[in-house]
A and B are shown apart, each in its own frame.
Chain A
Amino acid sequence: MNAKTNARRRITLTILRHNPQDANSKPRLQRYALEEAEGMTLFIALNEIREHQDASLQFDFVCRAGICGSCAMMVNGRPRLACRTLTRDLPAETTLAPLPFFALIGDLSVDTGKWMRGMSERLETWLHAREREADLSRIEERMSPDLAEAIYALDRCVECGCCVAACGTAQMRQDFVGAVGFGKIARFRLDPRDRRDDAAFYELIGDDSGVFGCMSLLACHDVCPKSLPLETQIAFLRRKMAFLSAA
């Protein structure tokens, strides 16, 4: 190892800062320079800045492992999870901004929870059990491992908001359901315990703010940190909903 490979890179994070709670706050860009460390993620870099340079910097995190979905932000114009982004994969000059579309709390922190809850209530993304009252004394019905796997694959969504922030349709039309919602509908559609049929799902997503509003810009699919098959799921729902009407 020579000295050159050991030399640490200096990186600069330019962060969009604003506090909407403060009437005097104006959106501005602030630059922070720091030394890159081995295996440094954006999440670590932001903590470093908050600890040593600017305690007022706001950003969210919980799990630090890509499971909670709290630390999504725009990294050089694209939504990503800060905890899953290594600084070595970024250029020396990187710009960070809060996710668009969601209500801004301050700096890089946005309220995805409120929107996700609204989406969930609108699309009724919970199990509508076939039986109104669960019989706890009876053994649960069996489910094939393949089906359980398929449901689980869609259940991996962490509601980080990256798909909605990347969606051009959602940016233009605030009432658009967004890929996260379609993913959830696809998940409950698979579930044999859910009593809803396609006609019931049509009531939830069968219009221009639902699946027919999707313009297939496909950015949702490309930025999903959990690599969910959003493109194929939305195409599948579109076919089911469109030909339901033709029938």
Chain B
Amino acid sequence: MFNAVFLAQSGLSTRAQKSRWPARLDLLQGGTGLLLALFMWGHMFFVASILLGKEVLWTVARFFEGYFFFGKSYPWLVSLVVGGVAFLLATHALLALRKFPGSYQQWKTIRAHAKAMRHADTTLWLWQVATGFLLFFLASAHLYQMFVWPQNIGPYASADRVWSDGLWPFYLTLLFAVELHGGIGLYRLARKWGWPNASRAVLRRLKWGLTLFFLVLGLLTLAAYMKIGFEHRAQYGERYTPAQVMMSGEDHGRDTEAAQ
């Protein structure tokens, strides 16, 4: 084992061939990015279900807690998914760090280069770096919150968090960082690997179209939570229970417990 350590320290290798790890790391960086971006799109649709009504969001939230499978809510199921996403995020961040400007000199060089070149794909990369850096903190904070308090996802619980807990500026920044980073990332991934085989102009239009769509959806969703949170501020902490569930009096998981 010590031999391996000394070899690594000296930068030498007993292998006659180049390591295959740079290839694997490159695939892994792209793969984790792809999964995270696709997850974010799905996530946005689930969160945006509030636009269709409180009951729809309540149903979506209970669905992921297994309520409709087990007849009871298990919020730790959400924590499990959050844990998986956090692992993907950490892996992606670690691998993407390799591409960050590693010194002030490198940062100054790429900034000046992008400014002088006036080249869209070069400038977009700087945006990807900036939003990626923001996501180290914002995404981690959000994931931590969801991991520890998975039971606080619901029409009132989420709206109270957004409004009464004052987190709407956090979500607003997170929204822009995620949508820009994911959109640019997917576009770059496609160009990097040469698939889909569409022209750059077409892919770029598609990218901006999708980014715009998810930004508008995100803003509408955030506005909806802010409105509900504002109207619900006097009953802060109360949980939402759909009318028919209340009337039936059946056990529908921890939402009633929380409300009691």
List A residues at the B interface (Cβ < 8 Å).
Answer: 74, 77-78, 100, 166, 168, 171-173, 199, 202-203, 206-208, 210, 212, 214-219, 222, 231-232, 235-236, 238-239, 241-242, 244-246
Cross-interface CB contact of B23 among A216, A222, A241, cutoff 8 Å = A241
Instruction: Give me 11 other A-B pairs in contact (C-beta within 8 A), A212-B25, A215-B99, A217-B125 excluded.
Output: A74-B116, A100-B113, A168-B110, A168-B122, A171-B113, A206-B23, A207-B18, A216-B121, A218-B121, A231-B194, A235-B194
- State A239–B26 Cα separation when bound (angstroms): 11
* B residues in contact with A215, CB < 8 Å: 99, 125, 188
Closest chain B CB from A38 CB (angstroms): 28
- State A242–B195 Cα separation when bound (angstroms): 14
Known contacts: A168-B110, A217-B119, A219-B121. The answer to whether A246 contacts B23 by CB under 8 A is yes
Cross-interface CB contact of B20 among A74, A77, A231, A245, cutoff 8 Å = A245
- Chain A: CB-nearest residue to B16: A203
Number of cross-chain contacts by CB at 8 Å: 94
Contact B110 A171 (CB under 8 A): yes
Residues of chain B in range 49-89 having any CB-CB distance to chain A below 8 Å: none
Cross-interface CB contact of A203 among B18, B106, B115, cutoff 8 Å = B18
Contact B119 A222 (CB under 8 A): yes
Closest chain B CB from A234 CB (angstroms): 8
Kindly state whether residue B9 has any CB partner on chain A within 8 Å: no
Interface SS majority for chain B: helix
- Chain B: CB-nearest residue to A233: B194
* A residues in contact with B209, CB < 8 Å: none
Contact A206 B113 (CB under 8 A): no
- Chain A: CB-nearest residue to B115: A77
* B residues in contact with A100, CB < 8 Å: 113
Known contacts: A77-B117, A206-B18, A218-B191. The answer to whether A168 contacts B125 by CB under 8 A is yes
* A residues in contact with B102, CB < 8 Å: 172
* B residues in contact with A210, CB < 8 Å: 22
Contact A245 B121 (CB under 8 A): no
- State A168–B20 Cα separation when bound (angstroms): 25
Contact B188 A216 (CB under 8 A): yes
- Chain A: CB-nearest residue to B121: A218
Closest chain A CB from B233 CB (angstroms): 46
- Chain A: CB-nearest residue to B119: A219
Known contacts: A77-B116, A206-B23, A212-B26. The answer to whether A219 contacts B122 by CB under 8 A is yes
* B residues in contact with A173, CB < 8 Å: 106
